[in-house]
Amino acid sequence: MTDLTNKVAIVTGGARGIGAAISKELASHGARVVVNYNSSKGPSEKLIMEIAEMGGDAYAVQADVSKSEEAQKLVNETINHFGRLDIVVNNAGITRDRTFKKLKEEDWKNVIDVNLNSVYNTTAAALPYLLESDSGRIINISSIIGQAGGFGQTNYSAAKAGMIGYTKSLALELAKSGVTVNAICPGFIDTAMVQEIPENIREQIVAKIPVRRFGQAEEIARGVIFLCKDGEYITGQQLNINGGLYM
């Protein structure tokens, strides 16, 4: 089992939603956390204070991780502040749901940039430091939609499926180094992203979920902790946390 005390973790999009739950859970297990945000400055400051009140150590860094130079800045600031890097959680994501007929090129490109190209950007900047860690972890927050598809979600589904292929290939390349690479595939989790779905559609979705409820962000965060602490022999996998919606 890996002790997370004093390990350093970056959580992209770590100030709200699933990312905030992951930041908090990592901090509560003793990790020092870099909470990356793009636009959520206020929530990031509030979260840093909450973590400090819990006795944890966190630091906020603004960066649009869809841009490679900003992802590099995120990693540089992490090293300047904490001096090492052990865990990267690629969590930043957006949706621009439209049926394919209505989808604009911009909707396609933005979703691929933020959900998929960001994963390349952050990992490429972080890898030299992860290789120095005795327990490097890369955890990519993909989605059930990358596995099963989703109506009106060709862009998002392509990005999330891309993360899964990327996870498997990088896991193969890094296995000997001790850095594990895994994807978590959440089902429908009760955050702003799902709250944007119209109420009648939300009801239809819940009716199809075998456990009959949306997941909570903390349930994804606990999956991250499992992979970080107990995951030394788990690599290239998809951890499905979806209430049984996709098996």
Q: How far is the CB of 233 from ligand NAP (least distance, A)?
A: 25
How many residues sit in the footprint of ligand NAP (CB under 6 A)? Answer: 30
Query: Of 47 and 228, which has the nearer Cβ to ligand NAP?
Result: 47
Could you write out the DSSP letters of every residue in 94-125? ------TTT--HHHHHHHHIIIIIHHHHHHHH
Among 48, 87, 92, 179, binds ligand NAP (CB under 6 A): 92
Query: Of 146 and 231, which has the nearer Cβ to ligand NAP?
Result: 146
CB-based contacts of 119: which residues, under 8 Å, 6+ apart? 90, 140, 163, 166
Distances (CA, A) of 117 to 37, 178, 191, 204, 224: 16, 24, 23, 32, 21
Query: Of 8 and 63, which has the nearer Cβ to ligand NAP?
Result: 63
Q: Distance between CA 245 and CA 212 in Å, rounded?
A: 10
Other C-beta atoms lying within 10 Å of the C-beta of residue 60: 21
Query: Of 121 and 235, which has the nearer Cβ to ligand NAP?
Result: 121
The residues facing 11 across adjacent strands are 35, 89
Q: Distance between CA 168 and CA 21 in Å, rounded?
A: 25
Q: Distance between CA 86 and CA 93 in Å, rounded?
A: 22
Among 4, 8, 9, 16, binds ligand NAP (CB under 6 A): 16
* One character per residue 60-89, x = contact with ligand NAP (rule: CB under 6 A): ----xxx-----------------------
Q: Distance between CA 60 and CA 81 in Å, rounded?
A: 10
Among 93, 162, 223, 243, binds ligand NAP (CB under 6 A): 93
Q: Is 156 a catalytic residue?
A: yes
Q: How far is the CB of 110 from ligand NAP (least distance, A)?
A: 9
> Does the protein bind ligand NAP through residue 125 (CB under 6 A)?
no
Name residues contacting ligand NAP, limited to 180-239 (CB under 6 A): 186, 188-189, 191-194
Q: Given the structure tokens 């950007």, which residue do they identify?
A: 121
Query: Of 18 and 139, which has the nearer Cβ to ligand NAP?
Result: 18
Whether 59 and 36 have beta carbons less than 8 Å apart is answered as no
Q: Which one from 37, 156, 166, 233 is the annotated catalytic residue?
A: 156
Whether 130 and 136 have beta carbons less than 8 Å apart is answered as yes
Among 7, 10, 40, 51, binds ligand NAP (CB under 6 A): 40
Residues taking part in catalysis: 156
Chain positions contacting ligand NAP, by CB under 6 A: 12-13, 15-19, 36-40, 64-66, 91-94, 114-115, 141, 143, 186, 188-189, 191-194
